[in-house]
Amino acid sequence: MPVPLTATDFDRLIARETARMSWPSRMGGIIRSKGKQKVEEGFQRIGIRMFPRMRNIRQQRKFNELHREMTKIIARSLSGCLHEGYQSPTTVARKLVNTFCHQLVKYPDFLHLRPFLHLPVDRQIITALTRVSRQVFERPMAEEVVEVLRNLSPYQMRWKKYEEFCRIANECRESLNRRHGAERQIEHVIDLNILWAM
């Protein structure tokens, strides 16, 4: 590829670099090797087609609409590339889009998206949120939340369940921030990634 000169050249390179940096190591067990190339190509299409729109997003609802569009593009890229047991390209695509967006905000043009990012879903985050929910929610809400989280499968989650997961994650964030004596605030849902270290 020649040295980038045009905005499209830069967007293509940003998309390619971000796709490579956001590839979760565990994906090798989920996506066949030919799928990685197809996903990278899907993200390059996203870069060219959607980055101009992403630069102008200022509302959660608009980000969610774009997130859903990106997920559909990547899900199509994954068609026929998943290992046995992972029948839902949409759920796997959603995880890839979340990690892609998380990496993308390191570029100044996309930093404003940080408040709108979704928390990438995996078993570790679900387990950590379950532990936190028991500590920050009152009964019976804690029991209800724990039951919902216990029944989630990160790579088999339908949109409704995913939206429920996002709602619970945000409620956890708000509850953590309301704790008496909390010295730090968790500003955005994506910052719950620190729970990975628990």
What percent of the chain has a predicted confidence (pLDDT) above 70?
A: 93
| Most confident stretch, 17-21, 52-56, 86-90, 122-126 | 52-56
Q: How big, in percent rounded to 5, are the helix, strand and coil portions of the chain? A: 70, 0, 30
**Residue 121 and residue 99: Cα distance in Å, rounded?**
10
Which is it for the CA torsion 71, 150, 176, 161, positive or negative? positive
Domain spans in the chain, listed from the N-terminal domain onward: 7-116, 123-197
CA distances from 134 to 39, 131, 145, 185, 190 (A): 37, 5, 8, 19, 20
Going by C-alpha positions, the residue among 150, 44, 24 that lies closest to residue 94 is 24
pLDDT, one tens digit per residue, over 51-110 is 888 999 999 999 999 999 999 988 888 877 776 766 678 888 888 899 899 999 999 999
Two tokens at 88? Answer: 């839902």
Checking if the pLDDT of 2 tops 70, the result is no
**Residue 168 and residue 136: Cα distance in Å, rounded?**
12
Range in 11-25, 45-59, 68-82, 153-167 the model is least confident about: 11-25
Quote the Cα angle for 180-181-186, to 5°. 90
pLDDT, one tens digit per residue, over 32-47 is 777 778 877 888 888 7
Q: Chain-wide mean pLDDT for the chain?
A: 85
Two tokens at 175? Answer: 């509850």
